[in-house]
Amino acid sequence: MKPALPSSPVPPVAPRRPTALTLHGETRIDDYFWLRDKDDPATIAYLEAENGYAAAVTAPLKPFEDALFEEMRGRIKEDDASVPYRLAGFYYYSRFETGRQYPILCRKPIGADGGWQDAAEQVLLDVNALARGREFMEVGEFEVSPDGRWLAFSTDGTGFRQYRLQVKDLATGKLLKFRRERVTSVAWALDSATLFFTTEDRRTKRSNQLWRHRLGADGDTLVHEEKDERFNVDVYLSRSEGYLFHQIGSHTSGEVRYLAADKPDGRWRVVARRRAEVEYTVDHRGDEFWIRINDTGRNFRLVKTPVAATGREHWQEVLPLRSDVALEGIDLFRHFLVRHERVRGLNQLVVTDLRDGASHAIAFDEPAYSLGVEANAEFDSTVYRYGYESMSTPGTVYDYDMATRVQTLRKRRPVLGDFDPARYASERLWIAARDGVEVPVSLVYRKDRRGDGPAPLWLEGYGAYGMPNDVYFSSGRLSLLDRGVVYAVAHVRGGGDLGQAWHDAGKMASKMNTFTDFIDVAEGLVARGYTAPDRLAIEGGSAGGLLMGVVANLRPELFRVVVSEVPFVDTLSTMLDASLPLTVGEYEEWGNPNRREQYGWIRAYSPYDNLAAQPYPAILVKTSLHDSQVMYWEPAKYVARLRTLKTDAAPLLLVTNMGAGHGGASGRFDRLREVAFDYAFVLDRLGIGR
């Protein structure tokens, strides 16, 4: 039986067990290093004590949280379904049933008239059944064999992102005895009997081995083991089904190997050997490979080469490097090419008819939006399916006929209730950072709730790995907007929002730009009258949680409340531990602190090491016990130490999901409950009640 919550909550006090960490002439005393030991009963006791304290502090907000949850759930069409896509004689789709947490993955045969509605449904996977008796369930790989007979799928039942691969006979509905652990990617050969898969190292979780398995065989054949600890491996089948590709890549360079998909026992060959600071990807069409590569500049160019002669001397440039346009990817079809490009922070799609070379762009008219690739499984197709959304437009699926240029809206995610997108306005601002560089900022708000004075404002940031922090629609977020909150996204350096140069300007020795950009954006929004420091909430997760930790140390008076999710806040110690997942591979993002100069880069901002005796905003820190990317102990140590230093009475809460991983809860309603908790806490701190 759990003890009753105290009537007057008292913050937990983690015991101090000093550990001396010495390097480069500096000794750091870490009083909470011991929290790394998950098997120590004191560790779990501390996490549970923090959960109990957070529950006690927020108990008065529980009715508000419940109301927010019901409000947000009420906007969801619970029995919704995805738009079916065609592949090898079937339509594939997923659907939800009312009241159930997880999707059901299905298919129907394509009718003689090309329809599907009247055909019998075949359930391939019911994720609700897989999740029975578990707190967490996620499907990773989902690959049907070319003949449609077998389904290779992987599942994670803890949130640690450790996936088990299984194969299901879709003719009988039975699972084969075949089981493989720690699988990271899967691809079928054309014989529908040979399966290639990659696995991760048990200690570091680096994807490092490629295997071949023949259905019915007892064992597997190791095809390749990548020894360089900076590199991860992946395997996939081209849309053309002509070749299997084995992608080997680090944060800054890569190599692709290929194998004819109808010769699974053949020899893998290299397209272009890896070179420092050169990344590339490969696709296939006819007798050519098409290569997107950054060998002449950071924004990538496009070349093609004969399959029979992939040496650089045979490359033919299709699209040169452009300084103002980032080539983010391509989709290749029998007669068409779709380029994914980014111009001044916004996505665009450019379609080329490969029969005559004519190109055109698909136009979008909102000031801030994002595009996503939908399932385009068939190679011989004139229809391109993509997703579109903005901060005020729900996720929308379009089919675009690349030959006729006719666009068809296939589905817009329904938002139940009285939602009207015309009530909301989006803006795109550019705010000058302290070095004169302009940083893009995306905002959304409800028009009739936007007064003349400073508004409560929620500012989100990320800024790492060259990943664009694209805007998205959230029906849950309407609960903020409808209460007068302005929601903003700061597209700070370190992300890929303005191409690879934007990433370069916010990593390694330049990492501090990420943090000062965010502060400058916040100050710019205050100066322009959008908000005020006592009305400003900030939020970020993972590397965005690192951002939250740094800016809270640097400018605590600028923010009213901070939400820090699975935050990478013990940066220096983590990057010094090569046994942890991700560490060695990420030397190319953060630096290698075993080198004195690079130690100094990270030491200057590592949030845990720079906590100070000063007032802090209200801070909500969230983590998960089974997180494999940012270990639970980072936020736990951060909160334990901050409790001993902060000089104010503002709430400091640590909430640990004891049954999930890096992404939090897996069930759609469980996840919504977590959001409702966050919103209730933040809105209360901003002085906004129910």
Average pLDDT, the chain: 94
Annotation says 662 is catalytic: yes
Residues 6+ apart with CB under 8 A from 305: 288, 289, 291, 311, 314, 315, 316
What is the bridge-based pairing of β-strands 164-169 and 150-156? antiparallel
Using pLDDT thresholds of 50, 70 and 90, give the confidence band for residue 1.
very low
Q: In what order do the strands lie in the sheet with 138-144?
A: 138-144, 150-156, 164-169, 174-180
For residue 340, the model assigns a pLDDT of 97
Question: What would the pLDDT profile of 588-614 be if each residue is shown by its tens digit?
Answer: 999 999 999 999 999 999 999 999 999
Instruction: Scan for tokens 């008292």, then name that residue.
Output: 10
Q: Supply the DSSP string of 195-210, one letter for each residue.
A: EEEEEE-TTT--EEEE
Could you say which of 331, 399, 609, 627 is catalytic?
Answer: 627
Using pLDDT thresholds of 50, 70 and 90, give the confidence band for residue 153.
very high
Using pLDDT thresholds of 50, 70 and 90, give the confidence band for residue 663.
confident
Instruction: Scan for tokens 């006729």, then name that residue.
Output: 404
For residue 501, the model assigns a pLDDT of 93
Question: What would the pLDDT profile of 358-375 be if each residue is shown by its tens digit?
Answer: 999 998 989 999 999 999
Q: Supply the DSSP string of 520-543, one letter for each residue.
A: HHHHHHHHTTS--GGGEEEEEETH
Q: Tell me how crowded residue 426 is: count the other CB atoms within 10 A of its CB.
A: 19
- Among 362, 424, 417, smallest CA distance to 393 is for 424
- Among 592, 492, 485, 600, smallest CA distance to 546 is for 492
Using pLDDT thresholds of 50, 70 and 90, give the confidence band for residue 294.
very high
Task: Report the share of the chain in percent with pLDDT over 70.
Answer: 99
Q: How far apart are CA 550 and CA 366, in angstroms?
A: 33
Using pLDDT thresholds of 50, 70 and 90, give the confidence band for residue 159.
confident
For residue 290, the model assigns a pLDDT of 98
Q: Which residues of 76-86 are buried (b: 16+ CB within 10 A; e: fewer)?
A: beeeeebbbbb
Predicted TM-score (pTM) of this structure: 0.93
For residue 105, the model assigns a pLDDT of 96
Question: What would the pLDDT profile of 27-59 be if each residue is shown by its tens digit?
Answer: 999 999 999 999 999 999 999 999 999 999 999
Using pLDDT thresholds of 50, 70 and 90, give the confidence band for residue 2.
very low
CA angle centred on 61, ends 417 and 568, rounded to 5°? 95
- Work out whether the CA dihedral 280, 285, 287, 288 comes out positive or negative: negative
Using pLDDT thresholds of 50, 70 and 90, give the confidence band for residue 658.
confident
The predicted model gives 290-319 an average pLDDT of 97
CA angle centred on 174, ends 169 and 180, rounded to 5°? 75
The predicted model gives 220-238 an average pLDDT of 97
Q: How far apart are CA 644 and CA 632, in angstroms?
A: 19
Question: What would the pLDDT profile of 405-439 be if each residue is shown by its tens digit?
Answer: 999 999 999 999 999 999 999 999 999 999 999 99
Predicted confidence (pLDDT) at residue 7 exceeds the cutoff of 60: no
For residue 451, the model assigns a pLDDT of 80
Predicted confidence (pLDDT) at residue 83 exceeds the cutoff of 50: yes
Annotation says 399 is catalytic: no
Using pLDDT thresholds of 50, 70 and 90, give the confidence band for residue 112.
confident
Predicted confidence (pLDDT) at residue 6 exceeds the cutoff of 60: no
For residue 227, the model assigns a pLDDT of 96
Predicted confidence (pLDDT) at residue 100 exceeds the cutoff of 80: yes
Tell which wins on pLDDT, 115 or 20: 20
Beta bridge partners of 336: 353
**What is the 3-state secondary structure of 365-424?**
CCCCCEEEECCCCCCCCCEEEEEEECCCCCCEEEEEECCCCCEEEEEECCCCCCCCHHHE
For residue 627, the model assigns a pLDDT of 81
Polymer length of the chain:
690
Q: At 42, is the secondary structure helix, strand, or coil?
A: helix
Q: How far apart are CA 331 and CA 341, in angstroms?
A: 12
Could you say which of 30, 662, 666, 684 is catalytic?
Answer: 662
Annotation says 626 is catalytic: no
- Among 18, 8, 16, 26, smallest CA distance to 603 is for 26
Predicted confidence (pLDDT) at residue 5 exceeds the cutoff of 50: no
Using pLDDT thresholds of 50, 70 and 90, give the confidence band for residue 160.
confident
Question: What would the pLDDT profile of 504-537 be if each residue is shown by its tens digit?
Answer: 999 999 999 999 999 999 999 999 999 999 999 9
For residue 4, the model assigns a pLDDT of 36
For residue 629, the model assigns a pLDDT of 83
